[in-house]
């Protein structure tokens, strides 16, 4: 039974799953949108939105700027993207209370017929 178990395992162990999501969120911030499987996109959405929320809290002064940037850095693989999240994305969504990403289903992958989706930041 999986009552009250929220973690989507995606057929991976803990370390592999952490690395997968770090890579996915890094590429999402770098490119603004990525195409991946629908299951990965749905599991990625809360992590990406949490990143922007942390940056917004740092910009508003609810947590210190240094602490916010360290939390963002811990969730990304590229330290150069910390300022992109903190300065650009948090400023873009300053007046938006949530819902920073959109998932659009794109069909099925050619090789294994996996459901594919594009996850992107809304404008």
Instruction: Say yes or no: domain 14-121 is CATH 3.90.1030.10.
Output: yes
**Model pTM score:** 0.93
Check pLDDT > 90 for residue 123.
no
What proportion of the chain, given as a percentage, has pLDDT over 90?
A: 95
The confidence score (pLDDT) of residue 43 equals 97
Q: Is the pLDDT at 2 greater than 90, yes or no?
A: no
**Residue range 89-101: average pLDDT?**
97
Region 61-66: mean pLDDT is: 96
HSE at residue 37, side-chain half, CA atoms within 13 A, is 13
- For 43-55, what is the HEC assignment? HHHHHHHHHHHHH
Position 109 pLDDT exceeds 90: yes
């Amino acid at each position: 039974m999986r009552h009250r178990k929220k973690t989507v395992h995606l057929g991976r162990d803990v370390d592999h799953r952490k690395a997968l999501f770090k890579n996915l969120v890094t590429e999402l911030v770098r490119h603004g949108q990525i195409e991946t499987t629908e299951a990965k996109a749905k599991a990625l959405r809360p992590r990406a939105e949490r990143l922007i929320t942390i940056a917004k809290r740092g910009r508003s002064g609810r947590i210190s700027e240094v602490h916010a940037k360290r939390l963002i850095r811990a969730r990304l693989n590229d330290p150069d993207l910390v300022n992109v999240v903190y300065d650009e994305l948090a400023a873009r969504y300053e007046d938006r209370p949530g819902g920073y990403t959109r998932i659009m289903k794109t069909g099925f992958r050619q090789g294994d017929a996996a459901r594919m989706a594009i996850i992107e930041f809304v404008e």
